Amino acid sequence: MSHIARQPQFIHLWKVPIAEASLFLETILSEREAKRVRSFRKQADQARALLSCGLLRLLLAEELSIAPHEVPVTRACPTCGEEHGKPLLLRRNETKMEISVSHSGEWVVIGLSQQHPFGVDIEWIKREADLDGLVRMSLSEAEQQSWRSLPPEQQMRGFYRYWTRKEAIVKATGDGLTVPLQHVQVSPADQAPKLLSWQERPEMVGRITCFPLELDEQTEGCVAVIGAVDGVQLHDGREVLARWRHRIVTESGF
pLDDT tens per residue, range 179-193: 999 999 999 999 999
Rounded mean pLDDT, 235-246: 95
Q: Are residues 75 and 133 in the same domain?
A: no
Q: Are residues 66 and 148 in the same domain?
A: no
3-state secondary structure of 196: strand
More confident residue, 128 or 68: 68
**CA dist 49 → 2, 42, 105, 118, 165 (Å):** 25, 11, 12, 21, 23
Q: Are residues 71 and 169 in the same domain?
A: no
The whole domain housing 157 covers 125-227
Q: Are residues 12 and 72 in the same domain?
A: yes
What angle separates helix 131-138 from helix 141-148, to the nearest 10 degrees? 140
224 beta partners: 119, 210
Residue type (1 letter), 134:
L
Q: Are residues 11 and 90 in the same domain?
A: yes
Q: Are residues 254 and 203 in the same domain?
A: no
Domain count within the chain:
2
Prediction pTM value: 0.93
